[in-house]
Every structure is written in C-alpha cells, then in structure tokens.
C-alpha cells in the first residue's frame, strides 16, 4: 500500500460525481484526506455587473435566474432591499403570498436534497420516492405562479398573482399528502440502519467550528447553532407565523438530514397557518415607481440552504448603483474544507452534498466578447479540444505524448 | 433603550472619533457606520470582541470614483446588523484581511481582489475567486469604468 506517500488528486471542474462545475484539489495519504483546496468561479456570469446596467424591474427577473432552485429567495431578498429604499408599504396579502411561495420553495428544495443525498450514498430508491413526491409541490408552484421554477411572483411593491379559494384548497390537499409522505421519510431517516450507519460521524462540524467558520442554514443548525433569519431578522410575514427553529446536535451529515426532514414538517405547518391567516386586500401597490430614490439597504432571507444576503445601493435613477449578492453556499465553503479534513475520500460526495451546495448561486455572474470584431467568444469543438490540450500541457501533462507512448508500446507487442 | 441605541452609545463612548452623526440607525435592526481606514481595525476588533458580533454576513465592495470602499456586514445572530464602511484611495487599494477573525471571509476578500482590484494583506495562499485563471491582468469588472464593449446596452 502507498500509505506513506502523499498524493494530490484533482476532481473537477468537470467530473461525473459533480452536479455543477467546481474543482477540488485533494491531498491524500492512502484513503485519508489531508486537505482540500476548492476552486470556484466556473459559473460566474457577471450578474452583479449586469444589474448595474439594467432597470430595477429587469433586475428582478435577472436576479431570479441566479439559481434555479432558490430563485424566489434571491428575487425576494433583492426586492425587499429595493422596497426598503423606496419606503414602499407592501400590502399584507402580498407579504403572505411571498411567504407562502418561499415555504413551498423550501419544501421542493429539501425534498430535492433528500433525493440527492440518497443517491450519493447509493440509496437510489429514496431518490425515486422523494423526487416523485416533489412533483406534487412543483405542480402547486406551477399552478400558483405559472412556472415550475423561476416563479416570477414578485413585483416591486407586491406580487404579480393572487391566490384563489380553489387554489387554497389544492395547496392544503397537497400539503396533507406531502406531510404523510414526509412522516415516512422521517421514519426512514431515523430508523433505517443503513442511513444511520452511513451518515453518522461523517462530515463532522462541531458547534464552535460552525460559529467560527460562519456556517449558515441547515449546515449550521445541525451543529446546534440556532441561526435562522426567519426568526432572527423577520421579513415578509414571518413575524406573524408560528414555527420552531429546528436544530440538532449530531453535527454530522446525519444531523443535517434530520434537520431538513424536520424542517419540512415545520414548513407544512407554516403553509397551513399562512393560508388561514392570509388577509383579504390588494396584492400590490398602485403604480410602483420606476426611479428609486438614492439610498441603500441590506436584506437577508433564509433560503433553503441558509442565509442569503442582498445589498442594494440606489442613485435616484432607474438603475441601481450597486447590487451585491452573497448566496448561502459561499458562506458554507470553508466549513466543507474543515469537514473533509482527515476523513476518507469515499465520504467526499456525501459531505459536499450535505451542505446542499449551489455553486451557480455562489458564483453569480461574464461572457467574454471580442471588443473589436464584436464576435462572441464561442469556441468550435476543435478549438475547445486544442484549448484543453494546451491547458493540460502548460500544467505538465501532455495527452498527445501519452498517446504516442501508448501506441509505441502496443506496436512493440 | 433599544439594542440599536445601546450599540450606538457603546461605540460613541469607546471611540472619540465616532460622533453621533457618524452612526446611522436606518431602521430597527440596521446600523450603518463609516470610519476612516486608519481607525477601521480598532472599530472592527471592538465590534467583534466587545460587542460580540459573531457572524460576518459578507463584504461589499464599492467603486467611489477616487476611492474604493468596503462595507463589512456583521450580525450577532438574533439582533441588529452592524454595517461598517471604510475606504482606501484607488492608487493604493490595500486593506488588511479579516480572516484572523472570520476564516470564512476568505472568499469574500478574494472577490474584492478579483472584481475591484483591491490588495488584501494577510490572505492565505490559495486559488483566485471568481474570475478564470487566464483572465487578463488589471481588468476588474466591477469598477465603474470597466465596460463590456459589446454589451447590448451600449448598442442601445
């Protein structure tokens, strides 16, 4: 065995085990991880810069496309900041509808995560089950907002669509069904020996480390850190809704699973309460302003993955001066490095999956175009192939050379 | 006295250079303060160690013509958010890393280096973030005079 020798393995940016492009440089001794360097930025699309060049209304839709999973989280966080600067009094009913869509989004995201986690540990039945059930909430979201993803429900000063009594009934029916299914998942997560044994003690993040490394969301809460923006800095209608901040003290991947399935149950309760308490009235202010007075605001939102932070600075025009987005995964990256240290390589996929990473959110924002010829920098297949050969050659690995050696050996035989 | 007011009082009492007018309580839960670069380290240390702001949400960079500004968004968990802003001249855009306090600030500070051209002293060696390895030197997209020449907006 090569136990005494240290190896460095590159994983990514393109790798079958990764759902999104990111690159890990893993230092290994035997099967043990000595340290991990994470290179992000492959999904950087220049959204913050693009926001400065567009109007507030356009920005809502652009920002919503930062992420396909917690799109409502980003759009709401942004719009809250804009509304705060403009001193807009958003109607109560609109706040309730935002909260409702937010919780439905959390349900779909957590169910999606549960499936991915199952898949990463080879428990694909769980993936099939949860993703089938996730369709229930996706259908509800499509019915309420018109879209399965990127709901576009927010508008400056309110929401775009009202919710009818018939829809309320549909949502309640769907929630009953989902609750019944989630109870089963709680049973699976807490009683199924395979899950407990596979996830316990894996990816440990102690309470002190979670605080020190600024972890957020279910990752922090599973280490006993009761951080939840919905309670700490209430927005929309959260100050009027009863809910518990779910924490767990297992501090490992198992704890993160427990937190998420229990949060699903909390969300169902919240959805019912929202529908019961939702006041009648308008869903948006009349004639929302196009120009936003000069000012600044910072808005926080508890996305399914944790605290999402948006900062907006306006200059009195139709376009913002500065928009800053900090998605939850960026806050959890340092925690992942810590979790992987001294663990086994085989634990890597599930440990990374356990923070429910969304690198698309994290990187946000740049298409490069040639300034003079106005030609978009789109590569042909051959150019891409040549580029990759060059890239590897600069780093001391020449595929052509290896090919030659290979053929020589074969011919020799 | 509200939590925001008491934080304001503590800060004005601790530092002579922080006048009442320097601290803006924009709304319950949001405190904004601006300090010069020479005093930033002291105020930041006081906020973290004495006022127990234990969570750095993020750092926002600004291009303010002759200067680069940085806003550090801090929270205590539940309770108000303290936003400390400071700035440096563009000719010498050097700031000290806050990773000794918050190791998680690593990515936020690398972002300031890539997107604004700031130099952050005290960062551990590591990958750049978020721009590609072959990104041309001296190009910092979030500076106001940086334009994508062929962006649709410019075409009209």
Q: Is residue A14 part of a domain?
A: no
> What is the span of the domain harbouring residue A411?
381-413
What are the CA-CA distances from residue A386 to residues A70, A406, B133 (Å)? 37, 20, 17
Q: Is residue A376 part of a domain?
A: no
Give the pLDDT confidence of A54-111 residue by residue, as tens digits. Answer: 999 999 999 999 988 889 999 999 999 999 999 999 999 999 999 999 999 999 999 9
A140's tokens: 């509800």
Rounded Cα–Cα distance for residues A333 and A357 (Å): 9
Backbone conformation region of residue B117, classed left if phi is above 0, alpha if psi is from -120 to 50, else beta:
left
Q: Give, for A394, the enclosing helix (H) or strand (E).
A: helix A381-394
Rounded Cα–Cα distance for residues A140 and A52 (Å): 34
Helix axis angle, A92-120 relative to A253-277, nearest 10°? 150
Q: Give, for A404, the enclosing helix (H) or strand (E).
A: helix A399-412
CA of B63, closest CA in chain A: separation in Å? 9
Residue of A27, A216, A298, A362 to mutate for B, most B C-beta atoms under 10 A: A298
Q: The CATH number of the domain where A261 resides is what?
A: 1.10.645.10
CA of B72, closest CA in chain A: separation in Å? 11
A276: DSSP letter? H
Helix (H, G, I), strand (E, B) or coil at A23: strand
- The confidence score (pLDDT) of residue A282 equals 96
Q: Are residues A206 and A319 in the same domain?
A: yes
Contacts of A230 in chain B (CB under 8 A): none
- Residue located via tokens 């051959």: A382
What are the CA-CA distances from residue A397 to residues A13, A68, A400, B9 (Å)? 16, 36, 9, 61
Contacts of A54 in chain B (CB under 8 A): 153
Q: Are residues A327 and A386 in the same domain?
A: no
- Assess contact for A60 and A155: CB atoms under 8 A: yes
Q: Are residues A53 and A116 in the same domain?
A: yes
CA of A291, closest CA in chain B: separation in Å? 18
Task: Name the domain boundary from A339, A357, A373.
Answer: A339
Q: Does B15 touch chain A (CB under 8 A)?
A: no
Tell how far CA A200 is from the center of its chain: 23
Q: Does B81 touch chain A (CB under 8 A)?
A: yes
What are the CA-CA distances from residue A119 to residues A108, A137, A354, B24 (Å)? 17, 20, 12, 50
Residue of B4, B57, B98 to mutate for A, most A C-beta atoms under 10 A: B57
Rounded Cα–Cα distance for residues A93 and A91 (Å): 6
Between A226, A227, A371, which is nearest B149 by CB? A371
Contacts of A371 in chain B (CB under 8 A): 149-150
Low-confidence ranges of chain B (pLDDT < 70): 149-156
Contacts of A51 in chain B (CB under 8 A): none
Q: Is residue A161 part of a domain?
A: yes
Contacts of B131 in chain A (CB under 8 A): 41, 44, 366
Give the pLDDT confidence of A244-281 residue by residue, as tens digits. Answer: 999 999 999 999 999 999 999 999 999 999 999 999 99
Q: Is residue A302 part of a domain?
A: yes
CB–CB of B103 and A213 under 8 A? Answer: yes
Q: Does B148 touch chain A (CB under 8 A)?
A: yes
**CA atoms lying within 13 Å on the CB side of residue A100:** 30
CB atoms within 10 A of CB A28: 18
Nearest CA in chain A to B131: A41
CA of B7, closest CA in chain A: separation in Å? 17
Q: Give, for A332, the enclosing helix (H) or strand (E).
A: helix A328-340
In chain B, residues 16-35 whose CB comes closer than 8 Å to chain A: 26-27, 29-30, 32
Q: Are residues A170 and A279 in the same domain?
A: yes
Q: Does B60 touch chain A (CB under 8 A)?
A: yes
A250's tokens: 């297992």
CA of B24, closest CA in chain A: separation in Å? 12
CATH of domain B3-144: 3.30.460.80
Task: Name the domain boundary from A281, A316, A339.
Answer: A339
CA of B13, closest CA in chain A: separation in Å? 26
Contacts of B129 in chain A (CB under 8 A): 39-41
Successive 10-residue mean pLDDT values, chain A, 413 residues = 71 81 88 90 90 94 91 96 96 97 96 92 93 95 92 95 96 97 93 92 94 94 95 95 95 95 96 96 94 96 95 96 94 91 88 81 51 57 78 76 80 67
Task: Name the domain boundary from A284, A307, A339.
Answer: A339
- Residue located via tokens 């040549």: A386
Overall domain count for chain A: 2
Q: What does DSSP say about strands B94-96 and B119-121: parallel, antiparallel, or unpaired?
A: parallel
Q: Does B138 touch chain A (CB under 8 A)?
A: no
- The number of residues in chain A equals 413
What are the CA-CA distances from residue A129 to residues A51, A70, A122, B71 (Å)? 39, 21, 14, 45
Q: Is residue A205 part of a domain?
A: yes
CB–CB of A324 and B26 under 8 A? Answer: no
- The confidence score (pLDDT) of residue A68 equals 86
**CA atoms lying within 13 Å on the CB side of residue A104:** 34
Q: Is residue A271 part of a domain?
A: yes
Q: Are residues A386 and A286 in the same domain?
A: no
Contacts of B105 in chain A (CB under 8 A): 214
- The confidence score (pLDDT) of residue A365 equals 45
The domain ranges of chain B are: 3-144
Q: Are residues A178 and A323 in the same domain?
A: yes
Burial B4-30 (b: 16+ CB within 10 A, else e): beebbeebbeeeeebeeeebebbeebb
- The confidence score (pLDDT) of residue A373 equals 52
Contacts of A59 (CB under 8 A, 6+ apart): A51, A78, A320, A323
CA of B22, closest CA in chain A: separation in Å? 16
Mind spelling out the 3-state secondary structure of chain B? CCHHHHHHHHHHHHCCCCCHHHEEEEECCEEEEECCHHHHHHHHHHHHHCCCCCEEEEEEEEEECCEEEEEEEEECCCCCEEEEEEEEECCCCEEECCCCCCHHHHHHHHHHHHHHCCEEECCCCCCCCCCCCCCCCCCCCCCCCCCCCCCHHHHC
Rounded Cα–Cα distance for residues A86 and A157 (Å): 10
Q: Are residues A259 and A184 in the same domain?
A: yes
- The confidence score (pLDDT) of residue A354 equals 85
- Assess contact for B73 and A310: CB atoms under 8 A: no
Between B73, B126, B150, which is nearest A371 by CB? B150
Nearest CA in chain B to A331: B104
Mind spelling out the 3-state secondary structure of A197-258? HHHCCCCCCCHHHHHHCCCCHHHHHCCCCCCCHHHHCCCCCHHHCCCCCCCCCCCCHHHHHH
B25's tokens: 């309580």
Q: Is residue A326 part of a domain?
A: yes
- Assess contact for A228 and A221: CB atoms under 8 A: yes
Q: Does B71 touch chain A (CB under 8 A)?
A: yes
**CA atoms lying within 13 Å on the CB side of residue A401:** 7
CB atoms within 10 A of CB B38: 9
Please calculate the CA angle A187-A191-A192 and round it to the nearest 5 degrees. Answer: 105
Q: Does B100 touch chain A (CB under 8 A)?
A: no
Nearest CA in chain A to B153: A53
Contacts of A309 in chain B (CB under 8 A): 57-58, 73
Q: Are residues A311 and A397 in the same domain?
A: no
Q: Are residues A276 and A408 in the same domain?
A: no
Between B54, B62, B153, which is nearest A211 by CB? B54
Q: What does DSSP say about strands B81-89 and A158-159: parallel, antiparallel, or unpaired?
A: unpaired
Phi, psi of A207 (to 5 degrees): -50, -50
Between B75, B77, B132, which is nearest A41 by CB? B132
- Assess contact for A218 and A225: CB atoms under 8 A: no
Q: Does B125 touch chain A (CB under 8 A)?
A: no
Q: Does B77 touch chain A (CB under 8 A)?
A: yes
A351's tokens: 């440990």
Q: Are residues A306 and A404 in the same domain?
A: no
| Nearest one of A51, A150, A58 to A105, comparing CA atoms | A150
CB–CB of B81 and A330 under 8 A? Answer: no
Contacts of B12 (CB under 8 A, 6+ apart): B18, B19, B20, B23
CA of A312, closest CA in chain B: separation in Å? 10
């Amino acid at each position: 065995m090569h136990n005494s020798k240290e190896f460095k393995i590159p994983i990514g940016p393109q790798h079958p085990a990764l759902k999104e492009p990111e690159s890990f440089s893993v230092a290994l001794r035997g099967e043990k991880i000595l340290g991990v360097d994470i290179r992000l930025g492959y999904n950087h699309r220049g959204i913050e810069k693009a926001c400065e060049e567009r109007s507030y209304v356009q920005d809502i839709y652009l920002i919503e496309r930062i992420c396909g999973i917690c799109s409502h989280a980003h759009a709401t966080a942004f719009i809250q900041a804009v509304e705060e600067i403009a001193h807009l009094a958003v109607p109560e009913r609109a706040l309730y509808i935002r909260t409702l869509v937010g919780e439905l989004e959390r349900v779909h995201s957590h169910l999606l995560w549960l499936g991915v986690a199952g898949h990463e540990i080879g428990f694909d039945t769980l993936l099939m089950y949860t993703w089938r059930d996730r369709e229930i909430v996706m259908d509800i979201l499509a019915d309420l907002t018109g879209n399965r993803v990127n709901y576009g429900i927010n508008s400056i000063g309110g929401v775009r669509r009202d919710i009818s009594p018939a829809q309320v009934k549909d949502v309640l029916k769907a929630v009953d069904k989902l609750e019944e299914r989630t109870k089963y998942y709680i049973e699976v997560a807490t009683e199924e020996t395979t899950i407990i044994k596979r996830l316990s003690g894996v990816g440990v993040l102690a309470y002190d480390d979670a605080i020190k490394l600024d972890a957020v969301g279910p990752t922090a809460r599973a280490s006993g850190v009761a951080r939840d923006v919905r309670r700490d800095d209430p927005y929309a209608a959260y100050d009027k809704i009863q809910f518990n901040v779910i924490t767990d003290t297992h501090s490992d991947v198992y704890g993160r699973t427990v937190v998420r399935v229990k949060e699903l149950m909390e969300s169902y309760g919240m959805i019912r309460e929202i529908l019961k308490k939702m006041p009648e009235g308008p869903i948006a202010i009349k004639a929302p302003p196009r120009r936003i007075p000069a000012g600044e605001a910072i808005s926080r939102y508890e996305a399914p993955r944790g605290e999402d932070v948006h900062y907006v600075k306006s200059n009195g025009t139709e376009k913002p001066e500065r928009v800053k987005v900090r998605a939850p995964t960026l806050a959890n990256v340092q925690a992942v490095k810590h979790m992987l240290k001294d663990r086994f390589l085989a634990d890597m996929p599930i440990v990374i999956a356990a923070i429910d990473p969304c690198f698309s959110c994290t990187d946000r924002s740049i298409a490069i175009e040639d300034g003079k010829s106005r030609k978009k920098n789109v590569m042909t297949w051959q150019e891409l192939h040549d580029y990759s050969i060059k890239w590897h050659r600069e780093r001391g690995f020449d595929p052509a050379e290896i090919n030659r050696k290979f053929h020589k050996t074969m011919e020799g035989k | 006295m509200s939590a925001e007011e008491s934080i304001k009082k503590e800060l004005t009492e601790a530092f002579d250079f922080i006048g009442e007018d320097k601290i803006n309580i924009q709304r319950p839960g949001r405190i904004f303060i601006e300090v010069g670069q020479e005093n930033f380290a002291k105020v930041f240390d006081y906020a973290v160690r004495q006022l127990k702001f234990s969570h750095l949400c993020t750092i926002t960079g600004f291009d303010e013509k002759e200067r680069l500004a940085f806003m550090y968004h801090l929270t205590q968990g539940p309770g108000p958010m303290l936003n400390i802003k400071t700035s440096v001249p563009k000719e010498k855009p050097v700031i000290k890393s806050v990773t000794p306090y918050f190791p998680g600030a690593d990515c936020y500070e690398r972002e300031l280096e890539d997107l604004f051209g700031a130099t952050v002293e005290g960062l551990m060696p590591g990958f750049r973030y978020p721009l590609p390895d072959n990104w041309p030197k001296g190009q910092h997209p979030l500076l106001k005079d940086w334009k994508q020449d062929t962006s649709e907006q410019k075409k009209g």
